[in-house]
Structure 1
């Protein structure tokens, strides 16, 4: 779906874009309606998951897809873009679409997962770890850190504390040295007067 042998022009991409936007908007609207009509049957986790995907759709529509639509329209009208850049070539559109389509596809996959959960009365589904999904990374890293933490605490209990103490000592020593320097400057305030003979 992302690329083809023959480069598509702006008109063809506008048709593809309309279709993709219609699909994800329709899904987002359906789930939005579900959130508003549901009488507290959905738990907070499910609501958060639904809102996250709807938010992703809205960001896409207002961001990358809006930008891509502008490029396609500039390609069709053979005019400069709204940013004043030259008319995008068909190959430019292909390149932009290759970057943009995976974002659409990812949202569609998330809607499919929501559909699956809905069919199972919102039972939790164990996801396989996707290293490319930024949203999955923190949880996995957190789990790994929790496993490592006891070992770190036992082996190096005071590394941060020691560094902090060393820094405090250094600051105190510098302050003492500055105070001593200031005191010695104040004590040695003998004035010598030189008089030149005429």
Structure 2
């Protein structure tokens, strides 16, 4: 593909995301009481992302495509078709991501702006935990009687003991450098 082909693709994609951004911008400007602050924030975030994309990567890509088509600018190197393909491979996922966000906004709009529960199977932190019976057998059994109850009084006693030992250690010069370990009483 050459610069003309990419300029045509770029024009098409820009029209799509610009029209969506304009439509949602008009919606935010209305006094629709169903649009709470969270919804307005989500819409404005996507519109902002579109504006950044249009003024940043897409503008840069358009310049590269135009230089490829003109091939007359002697001051700067002329981007090759393969350069444009590489840049498009980097840029198009950004366009696609914005389009996905608009699709999610469309879904919320269709559901009267109710939040949509999302589940990403690729997000390790967002997967539901499935504990197999075999895994349960491997997990250590917790014995409630083995837990050491800690009360405020025992913690206060331990803190007092530690303070006393620190004061004693500060007052005396301990040449042996013995190590003492303090353990809470059972």
Same fold (TM over 0.5): yes
Aligned match of 2:87: 96
User: What CA distance in whole angstroms lies between the structure 1 residues aligned with 2:122 and 2:79?
Assistant: 33
1:107 to 1:130, Cα distance in 2 relative to 1, 3 A = farther
Aligned match of 1:145: none
TM-score, normalised by the number of residues in structure 1: 0.59
Q: Which has the higher helix share?
A: 1
Count of residues in correspondence between the two structures? 125
2:34 paired with 1:44: no
User: What CA distance in whole angstroms lies between the structure 2 residues aligned with 1:69 and 1:128?
Assistant: 36
Match of 2:9 among 16, 19, 23: 16
Backbone CA RMSD of aligned residues: 1.9
CA offsets 1:60-79 (integer angstroms, 9 cap, x no match): 00000000000000000013
Structure 1 unpaired stretches of 5+:
1-7, 141-198
Deviation at 1:126, TM superposition (A): 1.2
CA offsets 1:155-183 (integer angstroms, 9 cap, x no match): xxxxxxxxxxxxxxxxxxxxxxxxxxxxx
Match of 1:56 among 46, 49, 58: 49
Quick check: 2:7–2:62 contact (8 Å CA) kept in 1?
yes
Quick check: 2:4–2:69 contact (8 Å CA) kept in 1?
yes
2:118 paired with 1:127: yes
User: What CA distance in whole angstroms lies between the structure 1 residues aligned with 2:93 and 2:44?
Assistant: 20
